Chains A and B, each alone.
Chain A
């Protein structure tokens, strides 16, 4: 079975604080991809990152960073020095080697307070 769990339903932080969004996944596939998407109030899902299961290197892109740990089946997302524009719902997703779909978590709603 394929499953993505985002245990944090809602998070509020004050602007400039760092925040980490947790993602835990389950899959029996040895090859898979993990994704993070941002969903602003307008509704569209905005791609943030794709990570191959064979690549456990952490990645940093500006204020965003991702920590992929296969041993704990986690793919956490950290926003450094958060800004009001970061307020959105963030989804973690899994795409296994079998099939062509994304399996999304239930999302974490992030509110950054000015």
Chain B
């Protein structure tokens, strides 16, 4: 299975942009890149996903490298509420739902 590699932790200052990296060098052509985040004591929540092109939504932006071997989740202005564990996951839409694994993610700390 294609796996992802993320830094264990990152820090940011409030109201500054945050770039969360993810490496996925063995990504396949049918893998979509998904991001979830988990706030303290809560279940994960969906953030954004993409295949090849950069994507934007109300929560964040996703920048995907041209070779698709890495991606970056961008929070444009971090707030204290963005402090969470961020998971980068590959979802193969050809394979079944049993390939539904979360890694250890990146713990984002936001300083006031």
Q: Do A and B come from one complex?
A: no
| B contact set with A: CB distance below 8 Å | none
| A contact set with B: CB distance below 8 Å | none
